[in-house]
Every structure is written in structure tokens, then in C-alpha cells.
Amino acid sequence: MAIIQYIIADDHKIFRQGLKMTLADDHKIKCTGEAANGTELLRLLEQAQPEVILLDLKMPEMDGLEVLKEIRTRYEDLKVIVLTMFDDEHFILHMMEAGANGYLLKNAEPAEIKNAIHAAVENGYYFNDLVNTVMLRKIVQQNRREPRFREEIKLNEKETEILKLICQEHTAAEIGKMVFLSPRTVEGIRSVLLEKIGVRNTAGLVMYAVKNGIVS
């Protein structure tokens, strides 16, 4: 298996260095760059080609939300895991809706950060209890703006089956074996689901599936 390359974007050098050391014992991932702010990160991405960004939320010049939106317009397949001290649900919702593939707090265990990196590459996302709770609360609370899904969505049997498996955190390869399709075909159906439902990422698919009783 190829080594997963990641970049750390955080304005505290000591934190960047400490995080690199913490993750160094996982030989399947490798830090290939560091950035102190969003502007520096975008410049770095013009030369580097990582699979994952570990992104701080509050940075000078260009904060995490601004740079995430820019990344999503330039690098559709790049996985972004927010790594921050802010556990406010508004931050979580904004970042996930903007296209983050995961959201972790800086006090997370090293094992969870490693798992998140691997899961983001293999599954397209990493949802922990913090993210799950916030997204579900958004769905059920009446005073919150509900997700804007497209009207009159009709999923066929195969699309519904694959949506359920996506929500169960299976990879495209695993889903392919279960439903006797190639991983490429599964990814194609996932793209169709994103278009039909009118969401940008797996977080949106999960929210739709929960809201409509496809998964509980």
C-alpha cells in the first residue's frame, strides 16, 4: 500500500512539530509539508500533492474555513481533516458543510488522528461521536435550518443499498465485493447520489439518509 502523504496547516510551530513526532510511528503515513496559515498552505499545494491536510481552524491571513472553501474549488479529491481546539457545533457544521472530511479536537488521542487520516483516504470521511452528535442534532431540532436537499429525490434499489453501506463506513472496495460491482462503479454511483441529493460530500449523504429513515 502506498504511503499516505499529509500536510499540517497550523500557525503554532511547536504544535506542528509535536504532531509530526506523535504520528511518526505510523509508517504508512508521512508528513510532506507544513504551513503556518491558509495562504502559505495554498502556495504549498501548488507544488506538493498530498492526500490529506490536517487543518487548523483559526489561523492568520486566511482562516480554516476560507482556505477549505478555496481547496474545494481547486482540489476536489484532497481530503481535509480539521484539527482544532474549537468544539462549538456552529464551527463543526460550517466546516462539514463546506466540505471537510473530518473534524477532530487537538486533545484527540494520537491513535484517533491516525485512524482519521486512514479513514479519510479509504472511505472519504471520518465521523467521530462529536461530529455525529452535532449533525443529528441539526436534523432533529426544529429551530435549526434543515439541510436543503433537492425536491422529489427518487433513488433506485441499488443506489439505496449503496447509500446504506456508505453510511456504515465501508470503503468503495468493500462495497464492491458486497454488491458484486467494481470499486470504480461504486464511486460512480456515489457521484450520482451526490448529484441527485444535491450535497457536496459524504456528510451530506449521511444527513439525508438519517433524515429520510434510510438509516437510523
Residue 179, domain CATH: 1.10.10.10
pLDDT per residue over 64-108, tens digit each?
A: 999 999 999 999 889 999 999 988 888 888 888 888 999 999 999
- Does 11 share its domain with 31? yes
- Does 81 share its domain with 186? no
- Does 83 share its domain with 162? no
Q: What is the rounded average pLDDT of the residues 153-181?
A: 89
- Does 27 share its domain with 119? yes
Domain CATH code at residue 18 = 3.40.50.2300
Residues 56 and 53: their CA atoms lie apart, in Å, by 9
- Does 122 share its domain with 171? no
Residue with cell 460491482: 181
- Does 176 share its domain with 92? no
In the sheet that holds 79-84, the strands lie side by side as: 29-35, 4-9, 52-55, 79-84, 102-105
Q: Of 138, 166, 184, which marks where a domain is finished?
A: 138
- Does 44 share its domain with 121? yes
Q: Of 138, 160, 195, which marks where a domain is finished?
A: 138
- Does 102 share its domain with 178? no
Instruction: Please check whether residue 104 lies inside any domain of the structure.
Output: yes
Residues 119 and 127: their CA atoms lie apart, in Å, by 9
Instruction: Please check whether residue 42 lies inside any domain of the structure.
Output: yes
Contact 52, 117 (CB under 8 A): yes
Identify the CA nearest to 180 among candidates 202, 163, 158. 158
Instruction: Please check whether residue 145 lies inside any domain of the structure.
Output: no
Residue with cell 506538493: 48
At 149, the pLDDT band (50, 70, 90 cuts) reads: low
pLDDT per residue over 3-44, tens digit each?
A: 999 999 999 999 999 999 999 999 999 999 999 999 999 999
Cα-based angle 63, 66, 70 (whole degrees, multiple of 5): 135
Instruction: Please check whether residue 144 lies inside any domain of the structure.
Output: no
At 215, the pLDDT band (50, 70, 90 cuts) reads: confident
- pLDDT value for 143: 41
- Does 30 share its domain with 115? yes
* Domains held by the chain: number: 2
- Does 43 share its domain with 101? yes
Element (H, E) at 52: strand 52-55
- Does 69 share its domain with 165? no
Q: Hey, how many other C-beta atoms are within 10 angstroms of the C-beta on 31?
A: 18
Instruction: Please check whether residue 193 lies inside any domain of the structure.
Output: yes
Instruction: Please check whether residue 64 lies inside any domain of the structure.
Output: yes
- Does 165 share its domain with 127? no
Cα–Cα distances (Å) from 204 to 24, 119, 146, 167, 210, in that order, read: 32, 17, 11, 10, 10
* % residues pLDDT > 70 (the chain): 89
Kindly provide the b/e burial profile for residues 180-216, where b requires at least 16 CB atoms within 10 angstroms of the residue's own CB: ebeeebbeebbeebeebbebebbbbbbbbbbeeebee
Average pLDDT in the chain: 86
Q: Of 83, 116, 138, which marks where a domain is finished?
A: 138
Q: Greater confidence, 212 or 5?
A: 5
Instruction: Please check whether residue 167 lies inside any domain of the structure.
Output: yes
Query: For residue 162, what are the domain limits?
Result: 150-211
Q: pTM for the full model?
A: 0.68
